[in-house]
Amino acid sequence: MKLLAFMMQTGGHIAGWRHQRAADNALCDIDYFRRLGQVAERGLFDGVFLADYVGYHPVQGADIFAGMETPKLDPLAVLSTIAAATSHLGLIGTASTTYSHPYDLARRFASLDHLSRGRAGWNIVTSTMENEAHNYGRDAHLGHSERYACADEFVGVARRLWDSWQSGAVLADKASGHYTDPSRISAVNHAGDHFRIAGPLTVPRPPQGHPVLVQAGASATGQRFAAANAEVIFTSHPTIETAKAFRAAMHAQLAEFGRAPASLKVMPAITPIIGKTREAAQVLQRELDGLIPTRIAVSKLEALLGNIDLSGHDPDGPLPPLPDAALAGQNSTRDRVLELSGRQGLSIRALARQVAAGRTSHTVVGTAQDVAQTLIDWELQGAADGFVISPPFLPAGLEDFVDQVVPILQQRGHFRTAYEGVTLRENLGLAVPDNFYETHPEARARPEVF
């Protein structure tokens, strides 16, 4: 199986930062991120996964904002520091196609791929929060379908930019005085609905051809986008049944694009809460959940349901009917929350605490043996190609997984005992993409700069 470590602040649990084993005020500390990378590499993880946003969800009051772990550094800057402290670990960072530009982002990821010798990955998001729009000079966030149309064009032109330097373009021949072969560098000359880009990129083609493309949207549109573009899909499922159905649906959509199932790794999020005994793990779970203030839990639920206001409803009663406006946000996440509410018949208060604790995905509470067995069962039953491990607190939770769960997976033949390759693609078992301009020589164009 494949494994990614989710570096979600100082813990995947919303109150994980308050736990005594979580790092203290570490989100701007270079040593914290280096340590996480080194722990993940010691555990032979395929890569680390860094989430990001460029704004904030609205919350009802400063006291709620004050209780949340909110700082976020630029993911590519963080991943560059991890690259320098590791040698095999993949480096996957989130960047928005709505609030970035293809040329700039293609250049930054190509640079990271070169400097890490082929370990970069891009988690493609379209962004979801209104505050992000306001931070980039827009009055409102783009609609769901428009964001994905923009993302499709964005990724397409980024691929062309990475391909604008063909093999053999760099000569660095001191004797002849030729540093490049201009005939192997092509303009892009893209003119689309959202972007106009001449090219070529100022960075030669990345070692992996393209950084590994990752996607996390699970709405119908997001799944379609992933089937066309992604090589890893980060997903979230409360049960093995929903995970199996999702993976089967993704394989069916891949076929429509002429892609093989092996070209997309389906990786659900798993939160392991590990104890020496099952009882000890349950005590730890209750301890973590007890650290969540109710006001923050309800605020999280309101955001995931589309920024609705639940303040006028009985917290011990059921969810009220949701207005249509709630459909405009994170549709797939909203659907998972509603499914959880209906399946368990939860009150607003109980649902909020479950959602805030991260249990719209799958939390495994038990011994290291229990966690390992769950991962093996999901893999063998076709629910996953691997997992995004989201420890409840960091770095200790990741250390627990590496020291206790990984050896069991290795002993049972379900996880590597050494890295297979140097690049992230090699370790994930993904092919290097063809260079478009080498397979379509008729599309080559002389850049305007020479």
SS (H, E, C) 128-188: CCHHHHHHCCCCCCCCHHHHHHHHHHHHHHHHHHHHCECCCCEEEECCCCEEECHHHECCC
| pLDDT tens, position by position, 360-392 | 578 999 999 999 999 999 999 999 999 999 999
Q: Is the pLDDT of residue 327 over 90?
A: no
Confidence label for 93 from pLDDT (cuts 50, 70 and 90): very high
Can you give the length of the chain in residues? 450
| pLDDT tens, position by position, 425-438 | 999 999 999 999 99
Helix pair 144-163, 220-229: axis angle to 10 deg: 10
Other residues' Cβ atoms within 10 Å of the Cβ of residue 150 = 18
Among residues 58, 65, 10, 59, the alpha carbon closest in space to that of 33 is found at 10
Q: Is the pLDDT of residue 305 over 90?
A: no
| pLDDT tens, position by position, 188-205 | 999 999 999 999 999 999
- The lowest-confidence range among 45-49, 283-287, 298-302 is 298-302
Give this prediction's pTM.
Answer: 0.93
Write b or e for each residue in 225-261: b if 16 or more Cβ atoms lie within 10 A of its Cβ, otherwise e: bbbbbbbbbbbbbbebebbbebbeebbebbeeeeeee
Residue ranges of domains in the chain = 2-278+363-443, 293-356
Percent of the chain residues topping a pLDDT of 90 = 78
Q: Is the pLDDT of residue 59 over 90?
A: no
Q: Is the pLDDT of residue 326 over 50?
A: no
Whole-angstrom distance, CA of residue 31 vs CA of residue 98:
31
Average pLDDT score over residue span 236-249: 94
Average pLDDT score over residue span 176-186: 98
CATH of domain 2-278+363-443: 3.20.20.30
What is the DSSP code string of 206-250?
PTTSSPEEEE---SHHHHHHHHHH-SEEEE--SSHHHHHHHHHHH
